Structure 1
């Protein structure tokens, strides 16, 4: 699958004054760096950038940035926004080699919640990790990790070992089978179970006391 393309223009001048002038022309200052090459200052079209930002997943999507007819694969690493208008003010792009891998946080999406027996019984999906850091091929970063919960019961847990991952994608945490989410029992059921446990303990203590007499 081809990367989306962002067109950019070389920027000769730097500084706050130059950046403000560019923004008035709907051009957003940006820098391309990394992969053992010198940084390059560029501008990108504000409207096109906002469109990409609005699609979601901008920060974990690899792009082909085109400057002067030449393309380089990049990954957005930082976007600065105006504190009042929330318009983008500056973007940092990291160069990526075609065969490189990168560590990146990827969101987790849960599928078939309406079919989950545990949720139907009144349970709650308790998400421990909304994002997980993975090592991924730079040219095949998944938009999200999808987890089917249609077969989970109350008090079931989802661990990373039970998740089918795309080819070449591995969790950065390798020393433990960490929890991603659980189907937690509703508070009413927890209270009832606690009361039953306390009653059971009380009956045992009474029986033990009678036996001693």
Structure 2
């Protein structure tokens, strides 16, 4: 998978007011953490960060803090401003090449569902999957082919399998479906099936906002 470099400056834990001033200046605070290491508080340019956050791909990040040797990691959690949708804080989790890591990987839908051509409505309930794998097997995205979905069909986590990757989501979680529209209403799946809302990336280790 692709690797991206991110240049950062080490920062001291500061007051909420100082952090807000930093954000107004286009600087985003972050934390790097890895097993057996002290967390590193850093800050980066919002412009440099955007390609790593607003993307449909997963990357291994080579984080360079104060011109020191780069450390490898993946974006683990991001906090967004609820009004502007700008990133206000993010975490990078360090990776060890021989140890499994848990992360979210974007879903890439491929193909066209026949059920849509028949008047059905395509619904995507998950846009990312929670997975565990070795760093060398981290994919940029996970493809799901919907070419076999007819009216009323769905794909659940239990229907998915990817080489060298373990999916952590509940196997009963619906990922995509083609729903039948009757009289202007959508005929949704049975209540017995678990359907999740589109996921929100979890809050991270925003230590300065405690």
TM-score, structure 2 as length reference: 0.68
Alpha-carbon distance in 2 for matches of 1:156, 1:79: 33
Do 2:124 and 2:177's aligned partners in 1 also have CA atoms closer than 8 Å?
Answer: yes
Residues 138 and 45 of structure 1: CA distance in aligned 2, closer, same or farther (over 3 Å):
same
For the pair 1:63 / 2:38, whether they are aligned, the reply is no
- Alignment size in residue pairs: 184
After TM superposition, give the deviation of residue 21 of structure 1 in Å: 5.5
TM-score, structure 1 as length reference: 0.68
Give the structure 2 partner of residue 171 of structure 1. 167
Give the structure 1 partner of residue 149 of structure 2. 152
**Greater RCO (CA < 8 Å, at least 6 residues apart):** 2
Do 1:62 and 1:139's aligned partners in 2 also have CA atoms closer than 8 Å?
Answer: no
Do 1:73 and 1:98's aligned partners in 2 also have CA atoms closer than 8 Å?
Answer: no
Alpha-carbon distance in 2 for matches of 1:173, 1:86: 26
SS at match of 1:182: strand
Give the structure 1 partner of residue 182 of structure 2. 187
SS at match of 1:99: coil
Larger Rg: 1
After TM superposition, give the deviation of residue 37 of structure 1 in Å: 0.4
Alpha-carbon distance in 2 for matches of 1:158, 1:79: 28
After TM superposition, give the deviation of residue 35 of structure 1 in Å: 1.5
For the pair 1:137 / 2:134, whether they are aligned, the reply is yes
**Larger proportion of helix:** 1
Alpha-carbon distance in 2 for matches of 1:152, 1:85: 36
Alpha-carbon distance in 2 for matches of 1:63, 1:124: 37
